[in-house]
Structure 1
């Protein structure tokens, strides 16, 4: 009995009857018993050469409409290797050849357990090949080294029956390197995010779409004193100061309604120990594809120190304003008193000026000499009678310094003038006096009176010349 010929005859009969035939019809057509025909039909179905459909208790067989494996190998983006029952390669697609940079003849009929096989397979795939040869499909994830790079594959081991009913294995390698790299990048990104999340200097909390706490970072716990377990089944309103709850709730509801994308506000939180802490919270919703809120992210910055400083500054400002008002009143009173004093001084100055003008008129017409000495020893004023007594003009008289004038020093008048500047009266005379211009036989009386002008101490000196009386007295004595 020629097995291949009988299998070929069955396939040819079915090609002539594409509408399908039963086992009995096929057995009669190829002239064999029904049992043998059923056996051969099962082999052809398993090999994929024919198709079978069941109608009640009857089986109807058709020519296979499936594309032969060899025809579709090169249309797959996966690597495909077909092995026989000795684990030798009997077919391979172009994607695998491109990956390995080899020709098809370089790999056909070579065993994959051979150390010279191009692809360095992990030995763990051998048991899966053996399982497939026994009819059990399986798959594993494998890593293959290529030019120093790791490539990751999902490998399926599919039991295969060939035309000659021999068993083999089809290995399909799905390249998942990009997915693996993406997963590694995602894992790395998640780890970086976790590190940032746990170590950032502000508090961060996730809340459900019902505003219940899901998770918070370490800084959030430090600010408020709550552990992860403490906040389970708690809403953000549970830890918000009663006076700030309405404003907080209004903002969250606007986020939920989509009328704003985020909000920031300063509010008071109730700490785990019952104390209060000021925080600046910025909250944003994370929405799903349908636009509904999946959860909220809240970022909280502890601003208690700033608030305490602002409160202290406000109190200091209020106190300063109070002091400024008090000081302003004091200054106003002082200014009013000063203005009163200025008015009084003006009146006194006017009166003094009147008195001075009167005194000036008197001194200008006085028959005796008068001059005023300042604390530098020079003259501020001299009357005509004094100029006549001294025998010099006003300019020359005012150039004199009575602290250093030899004729004054000779009779001690310099010291007496200084005593008048210190507030003491003096009287000197009659004394014979020789003036600085050489005028002799002058007999004078000197009277000094302390005075003050515009806050400056001065000496008012009166001088009476008795020279003519002395001459008259001498003339009378000579007549006797």
Structure 2
């Protein structure tokens, strides 16, 4: 138990902690001697603890034993996010305990929050800008355009879902586009800027 890489706590069925390995003390900031005198409620304050108990009961009914994204309180007062895997173990005297394996996922949760915030800002900029914008894969598949682009070029989302970027680039400029695309795929260049004429749905050149 002490040599494994995961944090492990052993608690009785009432929630009193009776054993903790080094990784658990490292994550929670307590000495082992402190943890084995504690109740799970001291790691998960009442409202969180009740959620944990309810989740254990619910996941047990569904035959699962994983509780993701649960808040825990460190000794220093900082909140961390953890994932819990638990199981009931039975000793030789038939006494039962919870074995709780957990990991600190705080950095992942915070990173996801930053990414989500960035995505929300991007969506706002994407839709509110006065410029027509489209997103396409390296193969040229158009998968997203803003309303300004649709207004300028007359295509609906359904129209664009059937088109490749090369289909709406003016014929005489397609070769340059394909040369630049091959250079990006070959990692000869990282990006390029160009002024291309595009074809309106009604075949006008814009």
TM value normalised by structure 1: 0.36
Contact kept? 1:84, 1:90, Cα under 8 Å: yes
**SS of corresponding position for 1:188:** helix
Partner residue, 1:240: 169
Partner residue, 1:191: 120
Partner residue, 1:166: 95
Partner residue, 1:139: 66
How far is the alpha carbon of 1:180 from its aligned partner? 0.4
* CA deviation profile, 1:3-56 (whole Å, cap 9, x unmatched): xxxxxxxxxxxxxxxxxxxxxxxxxxxxxxxxxxxxxxxxxxxxxxxxxxxxxx
How far is the alpha carbon of 1:258 from its aligned partner? 5.3
How far is the alpha carbon of 1:264 from its aligned partner? 3.9
* CA deviation profile, 1:426-455 (whole Å, cap 9, x unmatched): xxxxxxxxxxxxxxxxxxxxxxxxxxxxxx
Structure 2: 5+ residue stretches without partners: none
More strand by share: 1
- The verdict on how the C-alpha distance between 1:96 and 1:266 changes in structure 2, with shifts beyond 3 A counting, is closer
Give the superposed CA RMSD.
3.6
Contact kept? 1:206, 1:213, Cα under 8 Å: yes
Rounded to whole Å, the distance in 1 between the matches of 2:22 and 2:191 is 55
**SS of corresponding position for 1:180:** helix
Structure with more relative contact order (C-alpha pairs < 8 Å, separation 6 or more): 2
Rounded to whole Å, the distance in 2 between the matches of 1:98 and 1:260 is 46
Select the structure of larger CA radius of gyration. Answer: 1
> Which of 20, 28, 51 is equivalent to 1:124?
51
> Which of 19, 40, 43 is equivalent to 1:91?
19
Rounded to whole Å, the distance in 2 between the matches of 1:276 and 1:235 is 17
- The verdict on how the C-alpha distance between 1:179 and 1:249 changes in structure 2, with shifts beyond 3 A counting, is closer
- The verdict on how the C-alpha distance between 1:129 and 1:110 changes in structure 2, with shifts beyond 3 A counting, is farther
Structure 1: 5+ residue stretches without partners: 1-68, 278-480
Contact kept? 1:137, 1:159, Cα under 8 Å: no
> Which of 192, 213, 217 is equivalent to 2:146?
217
**SS of corresponding position for 1:122:** helix
**SS of corresponding position for 1:126:** helix
* CA deviation profile, 1:260-296 (whole Å, cap 9, x unmatched): 554444343221244331xxxxxxxxxxxxxxxxxxx
- The verdict on how the C-alpha distance between 1:150 and 1:226 changes in structure 2, with shifts beyond 3 A counting, is farther
Contact kept? 2:134, 2:149, Cα under 8 Å: yes
Contact kept? 1:140, 1:154, Cα under 8 Å: yes
